[in-house]
Amino acid sequence: MSYVFDGLKPEAVWKHFYNINQIPRCSKNEEGARSYVKKVAEQLNLQYKEDETGNVVIMKPATSGMENKPTVVLQGHLDMVCEKNKDTVHDFTKDPIKMLIEDGWVTADGTTLGADNAIGVSMGLALLEAKGIEHPALEVLCTVDEETGMTGAMGLKPGFVKGNILLNLDTEEEDALYIGCAGGKHTIMTRKITWEKVPAGQKSVSVKIKGLRGGHSGLNIIDQFGNAIKLLSRVLYSVNLKHDLKVAAFNGGTAHNAIPREAEAIIVLDNDAYKTLVEKSKHYEKVFNNELRFVEKNIVIQIEDNAVDNVMSLDLSKALIRFLYSIPHGVMAMSQAVDNLVETSTNMAVIETRKDELFLLTSQRSSVASSIVDIADKVKAAAELAGFDVEQGGGYPAWQPNPDSKLLSLCKEIYTQNFSKEPEVKAVHAGLECGIIGEQYPEMDMISLGPDIVGAHSPDEKVRIESVNNIWNLVVDLLKKL
């Protein structure tokens, strides 16, 4: 082949990866990629089926002597994150991905590469066409829209696949086997606002806290970064212990899955309370920078004049400040099954002061299903005590780690033989398709693995060439012994 991947092994994997990268496939626009995998099935005279959501499964019979072995599902997703550098000219709706080889890695020219997860899909397709490899019956499951909601996995119905062993090929670390992920839900709280006129002689100011790092509320919650909403409420609570103050607005955070970096409250108070506010702000700026000195670098609290006409009642202001100060946030429990894994957490994510209501959004995660319910209900109970109406939703299921999995045991054994070292066994405090698939197929023994990919979801994305071959050999050897 006279193309960019000429001579790379395994040849079939790189061939399919190249072909898939000629096809636009941003999330929710996977029709071309779906057509490609169906065409591969037709060329190989293999049966396939497609569900209403757009997922495709291709079936390959077992090789001779493996007919009585359990069917294995090889799973990956068809969509990719479409990001490019500002100076890159590229139309993701029609242009192919331009691929380069640099120092043993495959990368793209100013765009995301889409190795997440076209490499996984390509491995599945390569196994479908492989000859001379022993394997049980195979089902290559290609899901859609993993990157923007996992709606493909959520749309799977019982019986769409027959296998009860699943290899998810969407991990980005060669030296890791993943056996669990967090599930989650959102808890939304609202309370009606009855506005009052600002009392005469009162001072109106804005109190801002900024300079925090933020981060992903699943992956970074273990880092104990500061939460701007929680820190600001701590300052206001300390003032409120000595003085009355009324809240005109409280805003902070941007998304359910982000730790808030900034927050602002507009408050109305008398001169004595204002002096205390200034003192407490200076005090807590030092306190926060000391308490969080290993993870935060420059936390700043600013006070500025900010005239307003209306404020919330004193009772609502007190209730809001006390609630924000007391609401749980951060790591609630560490896993007893996987070292250094956050098992359960909650994120005080967003507060908005709207025209006639306060709106608060929190997210709860856990790798144990019952613990998601428990922490979400604790947040709900606290909110109800503060007079808020509560709705819960946005749920996705956990994949509870099973260190005693037979599949894990065999995979560790083969990995150790192939690499002369033991793999790391991990779980992630974020949602994965395996959690959703496991809810529909509770008897499924699952593991997630994949080659080294760096910079996924960014134009820096790259996949290590040797690692692709290593994971291919691991999967091939595993299929022989299942």
Is residue 163's pLDDT more than 60?
yes
Q: What is the mean pLDDT of residues 45-72?
A: 98
Say what the pLDDT of residue 1 is.
Answer: 40
Report residue 7 as tokens: 């001579």
Query: Do 166 and 29 share a structural domain?
Result: yes
Task: Answer yes or no: is 2 within a domain.
Answer: no
83 labelled catalytic = no
Q: Verify that 331 and 471 share a domain, yes or no.
A: no
| Residue ending a domain, choose from 378, 396, 414 | 396
Question: Is residue 40 one of the residues assigned to a domain?
Answer: yes
Whether residue 324 is predicted with pLDDT greater than 50 in this model: the reply is: yes
User: Which domain CATH number covers 34?
Assistant: 3.40.630.10
Q: How many domains does the chain have?
A: 2
What is the bridge-based pairing of β-strands 105-108 and 99-102?
antiparallel
CATH code assigned at 210: 3.30.70.360
377 is a catalytic site residue: no
| pLDDT tens-place string over residues 340-366 | 999 999 999 999 999 999 999 999 999
- Quickly list DSSP for 177-228: EEEEE-EEEEEEEEEE---EEPPTT-EEEEEEEE-----BTTTSGGGT---H
pLDDT band at 3 (very low <50, low <70, confident <90, very high): confident
Average pLDDT over residues 209-218: 93
Q: What is the pTM of this model?
A: 0.84
At 117-140, the pLDDT tens digits run 999 999 999 999 999 999 999 999
Residue 326 confidence class, pLDDT cut points 50, 70, 90: very high
Burial class, 109, CB count within 10 angstroms (exposed 0-12 / middle 13-18 / buried 19+): middle
In a domain, 334, yes or no: yes
Residue percentage of the chain with pLDDT more than 70 = 100
* Helical packing angle, 115-129 and 31-43, nearest 10°: 10
Among residues 30, 116, 145, 146, the one annotated as catalytic is 146
Task: Give the CB-side neighbour count of residue 369, counting CA atoms within 13 A.
Answer: 11
pLDDT digits (tens, 9 = 90+) for 379-434: 999 999 999 999 998 788 999 999 999 999 999 999 999 999 999 999 999 889 99
pLDDT at 262 over 60: yes
- Which of 35, 172, 133, 170 minimizes the C-alpha distance to 460? 172
Is residue 257 very low, low, confident or very high in pLDDT (cuts 50, 70, 90)?
A: confident
Query: CA quadruple 172, 174, 176, 177: dihedral positive or negative?
Result: positive
Assess if residue 206 is contained within a domain: yes
Residue 148: what pLDDT? Answer: 86
Kindly name the residue from 79, 433, 445, 477 that is annotated as catalytic.
Answer: 79
Whether residues 275 and 339 share a domain: the answer is yes
- Compute the distance between CA of residue 97 and CA of residue 350 in angstroms, rounded to an integer: 36
Burial class for 40, CB neighbours closer than 10 Å (0-12, 13-18, 19+): buried
**What CA–CA distances, in Å, run from 354 to 112, 286, 473?**
37, 32, 56
The last residue of one of the domains, among 372, 396, 420, is 396
Strand pairing class (424-428; 165-168): unpaired
Q: Are residues 18 and 60 in the same domain?
A: yes
Residues 378 and 301 grouped into a single domain: yes
Range of the domain at 403: 11-181+399-481
Q: For residues 244 and 395, which has the higher predicted lDDT (pLDDT)?
A: 244
Domain assignment present for 440:
yes
Grade residue 460 by pLDDT with cuts at 50, 70 and 90. Answer: very high
Same structural domain for residues 76 and 27?
yes
pLDDT at 2 over 80: no
State both tokens at 324: 């924000």
- The verdict on residue 107 lying in a domain is yes
Of the candidate ranges 241-245, 254-258, 278-282, the one whose mean pLDDT is the lowest? 254-258
The HSE-up count of residue 102 (CA atoms within 13 Å, CB side) is: 9
Same domain, 364 and 256: yes
What is the pLDDT at residue 395?
A: 83
Q: For residue 86, name the pLDDT band (cuts at 50, 70, 90).
A: confident
Same domain, 175 and 195: no
Of 396, 428, 445, the last residue of a domain is 396
329 and 199 in one domain? yes
Residue 260: C-alpha distances to residues 123, 215, 251, 252, 286 (Å): 39, 8, 10, 7, 20
Does some domain include residue 1? no
Distances (CA, A) of 272 to 203, 244, 269, 355, 469: 10, 10, 8, 30, 70
Do 321 and 372 belong to one domain?
A: yes
Residues 132 and 195 in one domain: no
User: In this structure, are 44 and 73 located in the same domain?
Assistant: yes
Please, are residues 325 and 333 in contact by the beta-carbon 8 Å criterion? no
pLDDT tens digits along 4-58:
999 999 999 999 999 999 999 999 999 999 999 999 999 999 999 999 999 999 9
